[in-house]
Amino acid sequence: MKNFYIACLIIITGIILIQACSKLEPRPLADDQLLDGPVGELNYEQNQRFLAGDIAFNDEIFTVEKGVGPIFVATSCGSCHAGDGKGHPFTTLTRFGQVDETGNHFLDQGGPQLQNRAIPGHLPETIPTGATFAKFTPPGNTGLGFLELVSDQDILSMADPHDTDGDGISGEPNWNTVPAYISPSNTIKYICRFGRKASIFNLLQQTVNAYNQDIGITSVYATKDVYTHQEIDPEVSTQTVNNVAFYLQTLKAPIQRNQQDPEVINGGAVFTQIGCENCHKQTLKTGYSPVQSLSNKEFHPYTDLLLHDMGSGLDDGYTEGSAKTYEWRTTPLWGLGLSPRSQGGSYFLLHDGRATSIEQAIEMHGGEATKARTNYSNLSKADKDALLKFLKSL
């Protein structure tokens, strides 16, 4: 009988453990500490597409058998955008061959993107003689769907190419042609908004380009192999490309932390006061979207999606679309404070990751941002600290 009681005790203990097991598991991070995750209120079908895109983006690894190589930059989307955040110098890519709006004159020599890696037995590309180049650190992915839905009218309303208001800020959109799968005309120029030079029209184009130029994978949208420059069969399905585009469209916007902290509130006021907000617009709004959580919403990306002269210090002699070599799109600042969570614990800021702190990034601003940078330099230590805390809260 004693054995029976012992056995019962063991079984009861086991049942309690099974019931309590989830208490022994790690708690999830707070939503405002994470960049990944969908916008709220997706319906069943939208959730399925988001999950399919999530898997294709973060889990699908391309091998030689699946189309990588002979030359490439990365083997998966997730390699460059850990946790959907900003990238690391390891995944920085190089583009070359265009100095003005007349286009890229090195397309027949591998332009616009350097394929800097090669599978065994092959050699990677090198930058052709005479070509200028710039390096690009992968940006964060979060909230891109909101940016895609800002109307052209709203972008134009923030533009002031001739600085008619005399504030020293003369932002303008990047007018660029778009691929045939977006518009059949190759002469009409559209307002573009994605990428460091704002040369990409929408997230489908961004996805197609990334598959093709970053991983060397062809699709029905981009049929030319980056190595042979010949048309080959699609190496990724159209459904997958569309799912990834949908995933990018429906990633949530970063959530600001410590919003009620007086120092953060003060830092936000300093941000506006010294002129940062002239380009890093706090609030934009979306137009209609079939995704309810994206449709007609106000959001806070801290960008105007326009190109600005950033001065000679950031002029690498390379450009895209109608942008000048010294012009860069205002980088959205949302998610800035979470950058170290995806950049290996450090900051790698500005277009090529050359700034390793927020302070350095501010001090490297030139051109139209010179006045704001000077104002920043003249701030008291307390105000600088507050500003920094505000930026890290984003």
Partner 1 sequence: MNIRNILLIIAGTCILPFTTHAQIDPSLLKSIPKDTVKQTMNMDAIYNRPFVSVGKLPVSVGGYMEANWQHLGTDGISEGHQFQFRRMTLFVASTISKRIKFLSEIEFEDGAKEIAIEFAALDIELHPLLNLRGGMIMNPIGAFNQNHDGPKWEFTDRPIAMTQMLPATWSNAGFGIYGKYYSKDWMFGYEAYISGGFDNSIINNEENKTFLPAAKNNPERFEESASGEPLFTGKVAVRNNKIGEIGFSYMGGVYNKYQDDGIRLDEKRSVNIWAIDFNTTLPELNTFITGEWAWIKVNVPETYSQQYGNKQQGGFIDIVQPILKRNILGWRKATLNLACRLERVDWNVGRFKETGGNIADNLWSIMPAISFRPTSETVLRLNYRYQQQKDLLGNPPSVTSGLSFGISTYF
SS3 (DSSP) at 30: coil
Selected binder of partner 1 within 342, 361, 367, 393 (CB under 8 A): 342
Does residue 344 touch partner 1 according to CB under 8 A? Answer: yes
- β-partners of residue 355 are 349
Q: Which stretch binds partner 1 (CB under 8 A): 72-80, 156-164, 271-279, 297-305?
A: 72-80
- For residues 267 and 391, is the Cβ–Cβ distance under 8 A? yes
CB-based contacts of 194: which residues, under 8 Å, 6+ apart? 144, 147, 148, 200, 201, 202, 203, 205, 206
- For residues 24 and 36, is the Cβ–Cβ distance under 8 A? no
Does residue 240 touch partner 1 according to CB under 8 A? Answer: no
Toward partner 1, which CB reaches closer, 17 or 269? 17
Closest CA to 323 of 218, 172, 131: 172
Toward partner 1, which CB reaches closer, 213 or 278? 213
Does residue 21 touch partner 1 according to CB under 8 A? Answer: yes
Smallest gap from Cβ 369 to partner 1, in A, equals 26
Tokens of residue 18, six digits: 């099974």
Does residue 27 touch partner 1 according to CB under 8 A? Answer: yes
Smallest gap from Cβ 23 to partner 1, in A, equals 10
Smallest gap from Cβ 21 to partner 1, in A, equals 4
- β-partners of residue 200 are 194
Q: Binding residues for partner 1, how many (CB under 8 A)?
A: 44
SS3 (DSSP) at 48: helix
Toward partner 1, which CB reaches closer, 18 or 187? 18
CB-based contacts of 32: which residues, under 8 Å, 6+ apart? 254, 255, 256, 257
Smallest gap from Cβ 58 to partner 1, in A, equals 11
Does residue 208 touch partner 1 according to CB under 8 A? Answer: no
Residue 129: exposed, middle, or buried by beta-carbon count in 10 A (0-12, 13-18, 19+)? exposed
- DSSP conformational letter for 174: E
- Residue 275 CA to residue 293 CA, distance in Å, equals 31
Selected binder of partner 1 within 14, 130, 161, 317 (CB under 8 A): 14
Per-residue exposure over 317-349, b if at least 16 CB sit within 10 Å of its own CB, e if not: ebbbbbbbbbbbbbbbbbbbbbbebbbeeebbb
Q: Where are the beta strands (DSSP E) in 228-339?
A: 284-285, 298-299, 307-309, 327-329
Toward partner 1, which CB reaches closer, 52 or 118? 118
Toward partner 1, which CB reaches closer, 312 or 346? 346
Does residue 1 touch partner 1 according to CB under 8 A? Answer: no
Does residue 26 touch partner 1 according to CB under 8 A? Answer: yes
Does residue 61 touch partner 1 according to CB under 8 A? Answer: yes
Toward partner 1, which CB reaches closer, 52 or 265? 52
Smallest gap from Cβ 330 to partner 1, in A, equals 26
Selected binder of partner 1 within 55, 119, 182, 265 (CB under 8 A): 119
Toward partner 1, which CB reaches closer, 283 or 346? 346
Q: Which stretch binds partner 1 (CB under 8 A): 20-28, 182-190, 255-263, 298-306?
A: 20-28
